[in-house]
Chains A and B, each alone.
Chain A
């Protein structure tokens, strides 16, 4: 070959190589990576609904009940494994804790996982475990790690172009640990485009997708018209093509489309028939499930509905565990069962993966895990003389329950097992967060080694791209 061609080749390779070795400290990793992440996996789901039991849901008080010890003063703490009676489910020999009868009645439609093992990260901080659950990475990280919903939004985009790809229902950032919550409610380096569309209060969800309060349809239309005309006649048109300008125009059009679309009505819970609304209306979480149902039927991609994390509230029971769980179960039981049934009825369940999860479980005695106990945060007397000590108040990471429905998941199946005696830890088929993420990505057809080069290093959906989907969870196709 002549020298001329060598030189040309050299120049070509140099630029390609430098770009390849690049990876800026920009959050816009996407621009450096063409989508090599496309997968050959046949997807079994298009939509994911994550039902988040924030604050640590005790498995022995919910989906994995052990021997029931009723309350009486003078009870030895170490004797108490469950503070509720067990009730049968639709599956043979499978029992739930009292108060979860409705979910028990639909377990023939999904899989019960009793062997999730959450990370061991030392002295417990809820938001840190939640960060880990949602991003699959342990904070802090040297780059900003994306939320699972952002990965999905980035890889698959919105299912219906007028419904944001990642919707987050029920979490406010005005409560305790909110900065830590914000740290993972983000698309991180994938860029703001893929961040969560936050609906802190489902009853006000419509406000997020309609013209500003006090602006009627006609005025909204006129305002948009004015904007377009002023832009067309403005001088910026003379400046030729510029990505800032183009992206501004495009995003404004998108927002307008969303606000104008009939699908926006999915955000309006008042449009729901009263009988249905009442079933869901067990509080904010129940209504969140209702909104998730409505959005799924209109083509949402990833929705998370949370019971909301607030330190020492909801599932975060540092005292009065028994009493408070009665109430928590009331909040979730009917709406979740109804969500599954409604989606099945409307034909969406087959392609919608519903996951119920929590950052870790709780136990009356063990903080952390049996062989790696960490600093105890709750004082638990050896003998219980006050009902406020009757409940699971310590943070237990070694055996956690999860549920999965739809989206190709086996029906009427149980995966994994915990010990029947304390410590009630996972003794069969342990499953960790990497596997949970990969199973969800597998259902969606996202390649397990999906990655982006950020700051010159590959960043995978699960650390080092090593996670594997748990194939036993899926129906044989």
Chain B
């Protein structure tokens, strides 16, 4: 009796589910939006789908086991298997249907999978029904049909499963395992399939069009322009612009939009290598992937961005300054940055990260503002301080430590401005050092406008930046010093990549070769001849600012006057790009990731446009005061929150990055050397300093030595820890640990001999293990050792330690991630 009841329940459930189907169909079509519950249900499909597979297959197996006897001992089992199998199959099909509406999958295979899925569920249900008729109601005529459907089941499951797996893993998932001779293509993969274009009428989205077009233009530029471009027009054909492509060559059109096979261009590139008519006639045959992309592009109608559509093609950020109105926020958020963060987090439904405790905060803010660690006394005093404004007061105090502040930020600017004591170029007088100007500018907190002006229209002391690096001999036209200046000024101050455009019209932006030369001409005594890919073109252009509406450059003026004009244009309040770029760099320095990433591509989307715009506007309006900006950031709850880790280093560059709090950072090479030097023993002696600043009267250096790492020439220890060679502008440092770094720390002489010297000092000073452990933990990690840590260290040191064991304890603690991460 119970069994019959269950059966009825199941049947009713089926009808109910069918009804729901209709319902969903309506929901989806009416609203065009997905309710999260449907999404969730849909995503359960890959999970649920395994139940019917197993259940139904086992039903078939049990049937086989008892096939000889009409009264199989498994009859009951089979019945249950079929019942649950059929129901779960129907549920799976239902969930699968919802998932298909989610639209993540390609159309053709999806359709097959969907229908075979329904079929499987149907056959399963039929099988169950027939089984019930045959054995429950004892009608023998149903046995054969039942067994036939049961036979069909595994077949249909395999087919359905195959297509389902193809959807998930891709077509080549299995075949690629034995396809050893597969040619791989160095071309970047598109985010969509380029194989089935011909009869596919789906329209590409704008983004896809752009992506495709960039690829096509790159292929054409690198393989065809040489003979079919502005320089050389073989066969009357030029391929560097869509109008010219469409015009065709001496034998007529070469592209038939929508039909690759009819297009001469396509016909010629697919010829076998060595064929008389193959294109490119010189150079290598296009790769299969490149050919596929060309075919796809033609079949899709040979799309090409039109003038005026430019904004749609490459994202271009507005350079106009913007002052968005501060959003309303709970009164606990005083700092404007926090009001923006609060708005952002609220919109994203993200809970505010907790605020970091005092111990964490003081360590972080010391490292970020002056590059040093607080002493144990400073930490304890800060923690016990009861003042409600103590955090703000501390930030101000650190910013007032002018020499420490300047020393720390010197490295940041040295990277950006490619300034170093040693490097290529100096040997033949082809490079100039600007350290004294730079240090003084940072220390006196020169307004950023003035800072930029003096770098672009330099004095003798600051000319090193735009003078670039000159090697002896002949160099590529795109690397002449005037072009270096154009590239570096654009990159550093404007977050703009002119490097492509200084050789040929850029494929990645709308900047043209002519724009780059116009900009470079500002840095030149006389107009430069335009070189395309290092070949002179005989053409010239007038000097001009990149955004011409910001102001004009007098083309007849001397270099000095042109630089004066450019520097005034650059620092205009209207040039919002200058301020956004700077604010973004400082933000990255302190919070671990820029509002825009990469920081040199300021046309990219910031995670909060409002925050970037407001902060840049505020910075410019208030005297372009860098210390004020740093104060504003450091005093925000946004900065003072608990830090977040990153799983993969490239996650930082994801364009759909969501801000969830300040990121953990690795300390820099200079910070590492300075900290170790101060706590244990100076690594570098004052005698090897390459630059000795005039310190403020009464300045007492941390650790008692002056030779902080920013003042010495680059060396194997610092290189291994990530200080770049400054042959090129470097705007981000490599922070991942490497084997070469670990080897340098493990047995490099600079570091280990310092530890040895320090061990002797400490042995005489502290004598007992207990004290040494206590002191080391407090000064290096800013906390007392735990009981467990004390035990471990003590086991190593014994009661009265020797020098070797002290040295080894130093080593172990200095290499702890806790020591080397700004958390």
Q: Give CA–CA (A180, B469) in the complex, Å.
A: 12
| Known contacts A24-B598, A28-B736: A233-B792 contact under CB 8 Å | yes
Stretch touching chain A among B260-268, B453-461, B620-628, B648-656: B648-656
Q: Give CA–CA (A61, B649) in the complex, Å.
A: 52
Asked if A8 is at the interface of the complex by the 8 Å CB criterion, the answer is yes
Question: In the complex, how many residues of chain B place their beta carbon closer than 8 angstroms to a beta carbon of chain A?
Answer: 124
Nearest A residue to B315 by beta-carbon distance?
A18
Do B475 and A20 touch across chains, with their CB atoms under 8 A apart? no
Nearest B residue to A121 by beta-carbon distance?
B473
Query: Which of A2, A183, A192, A207 has the largest count of B CB atoms less than 10 A from its CB?
Result: A192
Do A25 and B645 touch across chains, with their CB atoms under 8 A apart? no
Interface size for chain A: under 10, 10 to 19, 20 to 34, or 35 or more residues? 35 or more
- List of A residues within 8 angstroms of B716 by Cβ: 198
| Known contacts A8-B102, A447-B186: A239-B664 contact under CB 8 Å | yes
Do B816 and A234 touch across chains, with their CB atoms under 8 A apart? yes
Asked if B33 is at the interface of the complex by the 8 Å CB criterion, the answer is yes
Asked if B441 is at the interface of the complex by the 8 Å CB criterion, the answer is no
Residue-wise, chain B 179-223 has the 8 Å CB interface mask toward A (1 for contact) of 001111111110110000000001001011011001000100010
- List of B residues within 8 angstroms of A177 by Cβ: 427
Give the contacts of A422-456 with B (CB-CB under 8 A). 447, 449-451, 453, 455-456
Nearest A residue to B186 by beta-carbon distance?
A449
Asked if B426 is at the interface of the complex by the 8 Å CB criterion, the answer is yes
Asked if B543 is at the interface of the complex by the 8 Å CB criterion, the answer is no
| Known contacts A223-B808, A226-B792, A233-B789: A28-B649 contact under CB 8 Å | yes
Q: Give CA–CA (A138, B469) in the complex, Å.
A: 14
Q: Give CA–CA (A208, B664) in the complex, Å.
A: 32
Nearest B residue to A177 by beta-carbon distance?
B427
| Known contacts A14-B655, A243-B736: A212-B599 contact under CB 8 Å | no
Chain B nearest Cβ from A161, distance in angstroms: 10
Residue-wise, chain A 3-30 has the 8 Å CB interface mask toward B (1 for contact) of 1111011111111111111111111100
Nearest B residue to A42 by beta-carbon distance?
B181
Stretch touching chain B among A92-100, A108-116, A247-255: A247-255
Q: Give CA–CA (A120, B653) in the complex, Å.
A: 40
Do B471 and A18 touch across chains, with their CB atoms under 8 A apart? no
- List of A residues within 8 angstroms of B32 by Cβ: 2-4
For B184, give its contact among A4, A39, A219 (CB under 8 Å): A39
For A222, give its contact among B424, B727, B734, B796 (CB under 8 Å): B796
Give the contacts of A217-231 with B (CB-CB under 8 A). 219, 222-223, 226-227, 229-231
Asked if A333 is at the interface of the complex by the 8 Å CB criterion, the answer is no
Do B184 and A244 touch across chains, with their CB atoms under 8 A apart? no
- List of A residues within 8 angstroms of B214 by Cβ: 21
- List of A residues within 8 angstroms of B314 by Cβ: 21
Do B191 and A17 touch across chains, with their CB atoms under 8 A apart? yes
Query: Which of B186, B499, B716, B722 has the largest count of A CB atoms less than 10 A from its CB?
Result: B186
- List of A residues within 8 angstroms of B187 by Cβ: 36
Stretch touching chain B among A43-51, A140-148, A298-306: A140-148
- List of A residues within 8 angstroms of B786 by Cβ: 233, 235
- List of B residues within 8 angstroms of A143 by Cβ: 499, 728
For B817, give its contact among A19, A182, A231 (CB under 8 Å): A231
Asked if A37 is at the interface of the complex by the 8 Å CB criterion, the answer is yes
Q: Give CA–CA (A469, B34) in the complex, Å.
A: 55
Q: Give CA–CA (A226, B806) in the complex, Å.
A: 12
Q: Give CA–CA (A451, B598) in the complex, Å.
A: 20
Q: Give CA–CA (A2, B27) in the complex, Å.
A: 12
Stretch touching chain A among B48-56, B140-148, B700-708, B738-746: B738-746
Stretch touching chain B among A77-85, A122-130, A277-285, A345-353: A122-130
Closest 7 CB pairs of A and B: A5-B103, A242-B645, A122-B474, A24-B598, A16-B191, A255-B742, A122-B473
Question: What are 18 residue pairs bridging A and B, where the CB atoms are less than 8 Å apart in the complex?
Answer: A22-B601, A26-B732, A121-B473, A121-B475, A124-B473, A138-B476, A143-B728, A144-B728, A183-B725, A191-B738, A198-B716, A212-B746, A215-B804, A239-B664, A242-B647, A244-B735, A247-B736, A453-B188
